[in-house]
């Protein structure tokens, strides 16, 4: 994947213009029809979406060497998320109009960028599956932590009050996903299954840590 990114950067690096942006500057806002292709040289850029209650949900953090921002420019769609500079940024950029002109003059670049889209889409499917699993493990860990009897002596034992089907439904999971989440907690030595609905907590601190782990941030570059 790193070799592919290098090929993509080399294909467009000489076509981009140097720009500097101060910390807090937005490169574009969610829904904006304008934008730019960005090759980041210094600093970081945060990608996020704003949900209905006004909260900002982080999606990704681009770092030096990353090339991004071109996906919506290929099909004329608005940006699905906002981009803001976390710190002072040095970059090389190309605006939508210039990119459209360049692609008409050099159609071979379209193939390079479309290949980038394909790679990122494949990566997205893998990362979404991973994120779903992590979210399930965190929810299951939080449930087991809540079920631990207060002040209980060692060994720490947990009894599930409902069937696996009912527990899965209450957590918004499918039974297979619940089973995989419990299996992951077992494989890392956090819990051990003793029987139907009965588990021993082997590492209470690790279980609590998994339960508190943030799972909202996506790992996939969305742009």
Distance (Å, rounded) from C-alpha 32 to C-alpha 79?
A: 6
Give long-range contacts, CB 8 A cutoff, 24+ apart: 152-155: 155/200, 155/201
- Residues, the chain, total? 223
Q: Domains, the chain, ranges and CATH?
A: 2-106 (2.60.120.10), 127-212 (1.10.10.10)
The Cβ-side half-sphere exposure at 198, using a 13 Å CA radius, reads: 6
- Other C-beta atoms lying within 10 Å of the C-beta of residue 43: 19
Structure-block tokens of residue 96: 């939508």
Per-residue pLDDT of the chain (223 residues; tens, 9 = 90+): 344 455 566 666 677 889 999 999 999 998 888 888 898 999 989 888 887 777 777 777 888 888 888 877 777 778 888 999 989 999 999 888 888 887 788 777 777 777 777 666 665 555 555 445 567 888 888 888 878 876 777 888 988 877 888 788 767 778 888 899 999 999 999 999 999 889 999 998 898 888 876 333 334 455 6
Rounded (10°) CA dihedral 68, 96, 81, 133: -40
pTM value? 0.54
Give long-range contacts, CB 8 A cutoff, 24+ apart: 134-139: 134/213, 134/215, 135/215, 136/171, 136/173, 136/177, 136/178, 136/180, 136/181, 137/181, 137/184, 137/185, 137/210, 138/210, 138/211, 138/212, 138/213, 138/215, 139/171, 139/172, 139/173, 139/181
């Amino acid at each position: 994947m790193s070799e592919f990114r290098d090929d993509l950067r080399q294909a467009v690096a000489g076509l981009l213009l140097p720009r500097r942006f101060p910390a807090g500057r937005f490169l574009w806002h969610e829904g904006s029809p304008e934008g730019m292709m960005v090759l980041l040289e210094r600093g970081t850029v945060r990608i996020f979406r704003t949900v209905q209650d006004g909260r900002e949900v982080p999606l990704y953090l681009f770092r030096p060497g990353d090339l991004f921002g071109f996906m919506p420019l290929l099909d004329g769609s608005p940006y699905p998320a906002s981009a803001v500079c976390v710190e002072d940024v040095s970059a090389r950029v190309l605006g939508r109009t210039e990119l459209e002109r360049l692609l008409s003059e050099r159609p071979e670049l379209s193939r390079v960028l479309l290949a980038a889209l394909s790679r990122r889409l494949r990566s997205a499917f893998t990362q979404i599956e991973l994120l779903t699993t992590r979210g399930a493990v965190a929810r299951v860990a939080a449930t087991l932590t809540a079920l631990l009897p207060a002040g209980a002596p060692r060994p720490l034992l947990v009894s599930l009050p409902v069937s696996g089907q009912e527990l899965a439904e209450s957590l918004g999971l499918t039974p297979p996903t619940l089973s995989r989440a419990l299996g992951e907690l077992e494989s890392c030595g956090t819990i051990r299954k003793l029987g139907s609905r009965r588990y021993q907590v082997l590492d209470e601190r690790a279980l609590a840590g998994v339960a508190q782990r943030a799972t909202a941030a996506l790992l996939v570059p969305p742009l």
